[in-house]
Amino acid sequence: MLTPASALSGHLRSHSTQAVYRQWTLLGWVLLLLCACGPAEEVPSESSTLQARSQEIAVSNGLAFNGLAFNGLAFNGLAFNGLTLNGLNSTAFHSWFQEEPALRNMLMSYMVQCAVPSGQTRTYTSPSTGITYTWMGNLGLAPDWASGKPSTVQEQQVVSACLAAHGNKYGVRIPMSVLGKNAKAVTIPYTSSELTTFSEREGCFFGNLFNNEGIYAVSDAPPLHVEDSTARGCALSTVENNTSQECLPLVRIRGNCGNFCVQDVSKTFYTSCTYNGVTYQPLTTRIRKEEIYTCGDGTCQITEKCGTGTIAESCMSDCGVCG
């Protein structure tokens, strides 16, 4: 099933820890405001023009458009109950949402896409503007939480992994394949053609944002050559920047997924990852070959810089000489 994700306009230019954690706190407020109010409901089809942004992406197998820049989410140890509609009608939610409607809309879109099954939606109508926002479910990774029950530890882990997998520090739209199981151990559907199209192994993502255990990314492929780069650089990296932490609070762990995680019997994805003595339910990602850019291909990519060299950090042939 395809995980739709709206692109975040603009690129993340600052990586200050203070700014990142301030923005990650926003999703914590979303979770706090979504109380358990009974079972999930089917919602009407009416929507605002903003809903069209979510509808740009067709629903299919385990594919996803990431685009969640790491200036948007945090949980800060919150315990919360079911993801249901009634919590969206509260005065507190309205006040929070109206502070930054575009950003809050994006946050809710990711949460619902990860947790709620395909075919279900969550909706909110602003009493101030009359605009209706509709967020579409897709992966259904957290069936208990989506139906109004308190989240299980497995749901917290797999939703955390889903949010992390959708992040990239540039906030651009890049298709990827998301592989793994939901909190009930049901495999996310995929096809052989999907694995062929998304031929490049990328990374594994795991952790628990809901209890402050953190969220982690590990590469599932050899390090990139210095002339190569990708906007999906929170997992894939070159040897030179393998230990850099450019996607905080997502922490890049040095090494390979195989050092921390156990594969499924088909060796297609990882079923568990252990770090700091805690075992997590992860998600695994793959990308297309064309999402890995090479200095010298004639295009100055978002990940490349001007200079006099032949590497991504100084790519004269693609980006020219600085000055």
pLDDT in tens, 130-183: 999 998 898 999 998 888 777 889 999 999 999 888 877 777 778 889 999 999
- Average the pLDDT over 1-5 and give the result: 37
Q: List pLDDT tens digits, range 210-230.
A: 787 888 999 999 988 999 988
- Bridge partners of 262? 272
Distance CA 189, CA 268 (A): 12
Per-residue model confidence (pLDDT) at position 282: 98
Highest mean pLDDT among 60-64, 158-162, 260-264: 260-264
Distance CA 57, CA 4 (A): 6
DSSP for 161-182 reads HHHHHTB-TT---EEEEEEEB-
Per-residue model confidence (pLDDT) at position 131: 93
- Bridge partners of 272? 262
- Average the pLDDT over 245-267 and give the result: 89
Of 57-61, 150-154, 268-272, 303-307, the poorest mean pLDDT is in 57-61
Q: What percent of the chain has pLDDT over 70?
A: 69
Q: List pLDDT tens digits, range 303-318.
A: 899 999 999 999 999 9
Per-residue model confidence (pLDDT) at position 174: 82
pTM for this one?
A: 0.75
Rounded mean pLDDT of the chain? 74
Cα–Cα distances in Å, from 82 out to 31, 91, 126, 154, 302? Answer: 9, 18, 21, 14, 39
Per-residue model confidence (pLDDT) at position 68: 47
240 band by pLDDT with thresholds 50, 70 and 90: low
Per-residue model confidence (pLDDT) at position 98: 81
Nearest to 159 by CA among 283, 74, 67: 283
Cα–Cα distances in Å, from 225 out to 239, 293, 316, 323? Answer: 8, 10, 17, 26
Distance CA 94, CA 320 (A): 48
In this predicted structure, the answer to whether residue 47 has a pLDDT above a threshold of 70 is no
Per-residue model confidence (pLDDT) at position 36: 31
Q: List pLDDT tens digits, range 78-131.
A: 333 345 555 566 666 677 778 778 877 877 788 888 988 888 988 888 999 999
